[in-house]
Amino acid sequence: MQVTTIKALDKTLNKLRKEQQIIGLVPTMGALHEGHLALVDHAYKDCNIVVVSIFVNPTQFNNASDLEKYPRNLADDIDLLYKNNSKTIVFTPSIREIYKKDIKAEDFDFGSITQYMEGEYRQGHFNGVGTIIKHLFEIVKPHKAYFGEKDYQQLQLIKKLVKITQQPVIIVGSPTYREPSGLAKSSRNKRLSNSELEKAAILFKALSIAKNNFNQLSFSEIKEEIKTLFEKEECVKLEYFEIAEEENLIPTGTKKEQKKYRAFIAAVINEVRLIDNMAIN
């Protein structure tokens, strides 16, 4: 079932709530791929019904060109979801339906988890993410919501958002879905040629270097290895590579015992910006 308005979605979900059905939510911006379907499948293991929202959220784009070029293929997305599970509810609201006349982001205090990496390079992005997810939680009122670890900062932000807004939803993270080359599945991958996709696998290679050398090299030595790796690949421009503590997402050059660390990377290939991350110990 596809619904385009909050009123129609409410009517459907209220009936399910009266039947004490467990409702899951998978928020997306469309251009769906196997990674999204893996999230939906994960949700169906815990929930009776899953709502997949498809909404390209304007308030989380700090680059107008990026918003304009973001891949959109709604008919294909809906077909893919129905073939995967025919009872899925697909929520495809308009911008006006979500934001009315006030298309702007709320201001949240997410602390250190949004200050670095994506927070540093995409000003305002995380407030836009927080705004749309808050709206979707208020609209759908899901019992559980599912997000991929590819956007690890976003996942931590959403967990913090639930604490800030006190919304009664359980946030579930799901492992990054990858191509055979290791490249993280992303809607932005659709803008790359086959040869560019092969070159983009350098992001996974960089993260693997960090993980495989965690015990042998210092963080500064690992970063130097990554810098050298990208200098040899002219087609892919490294934007940042950072290692941060998982609990606070603050980049660090110091390795401490009993701390969990994660490597984060962003790079640009043919004007397409890709991100990835990996737990490295």
Structural domains for the chain? 2-174 (3.40.50.620), 187-279 (3.30.1300.10)
Average pLDDT value for residue range 158-186: 96
pLDDT at residue 136 tops 90: yes
C-beta of residue 144 within 8 angstroms of C-beta of residue 172: yes
CA angle 153, 155, 156 (to 5 degrees): 65
pLDDT at residue 71 tops 90: no
Higher pLDDT among residues 200 and 68, named by residue: 200
Average pLDDT value for residue range 64-82: 92
- In the block, which residue shows the tokens 């790079």? 267
- Mean pLDDT (the chain) is 96
Region of poorest pLDDT, from 38-52, 58-72, 185-199, 241-255:
58-72
d(CA 17, CA 25): 14
**Which pLDDT value is given to residue 160?**
97
Please, what's the largest Cα pairwise distance for the chain?
Answer: 60
Question: What is the token pair recorded at 234?
Answer: 């002219």
Question: What is the token pair recorded at 23?
Answer: 């409702």
Average pLDDT value for residue range 129-143: 98
pLDDT at residue 174 tops 90: yes
d(CA 238, CA 234): 10
Q: Which of 36, 42, 125, 135 is catalytic?
A: 36
What is the number of other CB atoms lying within 10 angstroms of the CB of residue 260? Answer: 10
- In the block, which residue shows the tokens 């390209």? 56
Give the pLDDT band of residue 69 (cuts 50, 70, 90): confident
Q: Tell me, what amino acid is at 263?
A: A
Average pLDDT value for residue range 242-258: 95
DSSP 75-131: HHHHHHHHHH-TT-EEE---HHHHHTT---------GGGGTSTHHHHSTTHHHHHHH
Average pLDDT value for residue range 56-82: 92
C-beta of residue 150 within 8 angstroms of C-beta of residue 39: no
* 143 assigned to active site: no
